Structure 1
């Protein structure tokens, strides 16, 4: 009797232990799922990794999802908000391999915002979500903060949201998020110093790399959008070059009407002298870069001012100005004053391409590029709808060649790329809002997502190599 009682007692204890172990295993299989708890199998939960998860904007990252169902459709989604709160997103469709793995560096997207093996496609394919404002362009205003991008794994192949209908309606598709990770994309590396410049009438922002220097330097000029754009200069400093982002138009700290250039050659000479005199800058190792109208200014600085840059880089810009400088140290006519060569597409979007055709630029308003004494890298987007970049490149090249200096000219030309060739892995805006008087218009920039992205990646690499060679004296390896 006692033996039987003991056997029953032992069996009860063993049974209790078995039940506890069974419960413990089941608890280990409980997984969070979009705000609730659900039961899953004991297979490890899906997870998504991004390496590195904190990087400069021009650095590629590796994305990989694991522990997914084998040979199954998966969507990888990117979402972020710009500094004004607008939602941007991109989608890519993949099929997992036999191990339940998807790797964006290796695998091909079969649909979504892009197709093919594009490791950084989720970044350069970002577009405003349905229901967001019209005419958006992604531009970083505060370079001391990153873009935060949320990357998610979703079950199935989720259709790319249509531009029609509200954003809220399209969020009710039953998307099942399996895993997520957030990455930070920076323009400023740790240790880069940013200083606002308001000195002797000069308006700009100086970026210095970490360390004591002195550093080779760039003067960074943008186009007729005006204001003070800092993100390219911040990235130059992150790559070891001091850079002065210089305002010259449409800025509250520059006196005069916002729709005219109220500075002349004296302003640029003062800015150059400031940079040359800076104790952390190599005054004899300076270059100039311009985008759009900034190209004309860069060429003018290099050929018509008492300044000898080591190199000039131009992106989709004209050889001259349709609106003349009233004098060398004065102002231009109003940019909106003469709309003779403006053209419009069927949607009413404006193109300034014909404004910059060399035949439409008065000869006296053209830079004297035949006097150029330093290497010039000219970058062309062949689908540029804002500037006649090909025609301007042809004229610049001919004048330099006729002067016996063809060795100074290098052209990079990219089919399918538009006007706004910027640092890599950033999305292109084929058209965006442009403020003119008395109303706002959407202007055409051109460019198709995939070829434009490829152009930005290659052009940025070649730009940094060009700067290394001519500002630091390093040859390509």
Structure 2
């Protein structure tokens, strides 16, 4: 039986003051840190808390309950949490379980904007198994935390170079690893949230890969209506060549990664016979162009939007293969006995075939590189399982099954990001013409496990295919 709060002599002249350490104190976001409490009474209840402010000033917090060992220590890499934001032995639980503090603005999602500065996470150690309000306000019995520590979580290592790209109509940010190179490289594409998202690219560069984070939608520097995709394959081709032409890049060792709609854009690159990337990573995406037929905005797909009892919207049905316009579906061509066969183009009329070939279709007969396809099985933002099945079957029909590797994660949602990032099961999508909160799916612990495992598999996949 553990002693209650206030019943222990936590400080005495015979015992050093409690100490909370976190090592390393500065680390990349994908690195584990060791969090330990020492000089505590044996077999006693303690709470370890984490809190930080986002770049927008919002408070994020996590806490967990532990019981010290007979030597008066608690070690998050060894010991099991018995309650709080997570349970079990989770060395990085305080990082991936961070959530907006009570009373925060609705629809928050933690996304790094300035990758040249870290997240600063404040850790504290408190007596007893306490409530979040005790952790973060200092209220309750006792004189505040027993010990505190601070860690910095970075996306960029020292020496990584960040370069704004506004060249020949291309909008992006390039990250180059420290040193002269040439380096293997990655084109990095995000989804229909639009804008220019840099943090994954910065982390790739920190792991030795030159990376181009490419904007293609919803950015002020891209001409045309803000809420439609106004670029095509020529834009993607130019960006790919821009990355190849850098002297720091090994032009024959370039891969592509896409999340959500970025998967379709990545496959566009991979199926161009003049580009031939060495590999493609696809995270929770679609094999068709669901953005809106014939240059329409994404709102044109609203007949497939589904709302829950809270009014939150799921876009999952938008991306079901059967709901994507036939002209924008995946197409595979293969040669059998000198005749060309088209597989599969269900319900497509012959008179529309030329439009289909000339526009945003995926000509998988040109695909020659391996694909790592990552699926979150609790994805509410995309029909990820169905799309993975679709492309796997298409490649099998084209006798290219050996190119396809699937990683599937129960309990993981749409937003599979670098490890130890907290998941947003919902987030604000737009406020105009009306406020929309989007359902992404994912449960904290299995989603965190998926992020950690898939990130390591991604890096291994890139090493194997880009470094040779």
**TM-score, with length taken from structure 2:** 0.89
Cross-structure match for 1:35 = none
CA distance in 1, matches of 2:198, 2:40: 42
User: Can you list the C-alpha shifts for 1:128-166, whole angstroms capped at 9, x where unaligned?
Assistant: 01111111000000000000001110110012459xxxx
Is residue 2:94 matched to residue 1:122?
yes
Cross-structure match for 2:125 = 153
Is residue 2:114 matched to residue 1:142?
yes
CA distance in 1, matches of 2:316, 2:178: 40
Cross-structure match for 1:6 = none
Q: Are 1:336 and 1:437, in contact at CA under 8 Å, matched by a contact in 2?
A: no
Q: 2:303 aligns with which of 310, 318, 340?
A: 340
Counterparts in 2 of 1:279 and 1:39: CA distance versus 1, 3 Å = closer
CA distance in 1, matches of 2:141, 2:381: 41
User: Can you list the C-alpha shifts for 1:443-467, whole angstroms capped at 9, x where unaligned?
Assistant: 0000000000000000000000000
Cross-structure match for 2:449 = 454
Cross-structure match for 2:316 = 353
CA distance in 2, matches of 1:404, 1:418: 31
Moved over 6 A (4+): none
- Which has the larger displacement, 434-443 or 293-302? 434-443
- The DSSP-based 3-state class of the residue aligned with 1:336 is helix
Q: Are 2:292 and 2:299, in contact at CA under 8 Å, matched by a contact in 1?
A: no
Q: Are 1:48 and 1:179, in contact at CA under 8 Å, matched by a contact in 2?
A: yes
Q: 1:172 aligns with which of 128, 136, 139?
A: 139
Unaligned runs of 5+ in 1: 1-37, 327-331
User: Can you list the C-alpha shifts for 1:360-414, whole angstroms capped at 9, x where unaligned?
Assistant: 0122212233432100000000000000000000000000011001110000000
Cross-structure match for 2:412 = 417
Alignment of 1:58-69 (within 5 A): 58-69=30-41
User: Can you list the C-alpha shifts for 1:412-434, whole angstroms capped at 9, x where unaligned?
Assistant: 00000000000001100000000
Alignment of 1:202-351 (within 5 A): 202-304=170-272, 306-324=274-292, 326=294, 332-351=295-314
**TM-score, with length taken from structure 1:** 0.87
CA distance in 1, matches of 2:18, 2:106: 36
CA distance in 1, matches of 2:169, 2:11: 67
- The DSSP-based 3-state class of the residue aligned with 1:422 is coil
Q: Are 2:28 and 2:157, in contact at CA under 8 Å, matched by a contact in 1?
A: yes
CA distance in 2, matches of 1:224, 1:149: 30
Q: 1:405 aligns with which of 396, 400, 405?
A: 400
Deviation at 1:307, TM superposition (A): 1.1
- The DSSP-based 3-state class of the residue aligned with 2:269 is helix
CA distance in 2, matches of 1:193, 1:412: 32
Q: Are 1:50 and 1:61, in contact at CA under 8 Å, matched by a contact in 2?
A: yes
User: Can you list the C-alpha shifts for 1:69-113, whole angstroms capped at 9, x where unaligned?
Assistant: 111100000010000110001001000011110000100000000
Cross-structure match for 1:193 = 161
Q: C-alpha root-mean-square deviation of aligned residues, in Å?
A: 1.7
- Which has the larger displacement, 395-404 or 368-377? 368-377
Deviation at 1:266, TM superposition (A): 1.1
Q: Are 2:160 and 2:206, in contact at CA under 8 Å, matched by a contact in 1?
A: yes
CA distance in 1, matches of 2:114, 2:60: 18
Deviation at 1:273, TM superposition (A): 1.2
Cross-structure match for 1:87 = 59
Q: Are 2:190 and 2:258, in contact at CA under 8 Å, matched by a contact in 1?
A: yes
Deviation at 1:325, TM superposition (A): 6.1
CA distance in 2, matches of 1:323, 1:98: 59
Deviation at 1:298, TM superposition (A): 0.5
Q: Are 1:194 and 1:207, in contact at CA under 8 Å, matched by a contact in 2?
A: yes
Deviation at 1:257, TM superposition (A): 1.3
Q: Are 1:265 and 1:305, in contact at CA under 8 Å, matched by a contact in 2?
A: no
CA distance in 2, matches of 1:363, 1:371: 20
Unaligned runs of 5+ in 2: 1-9, 330-361
Cross-structure match for 2:6 = none
Cross-structure match for 1:70 = 42
Deviation at 1:42, TM superposition (A): 3.5
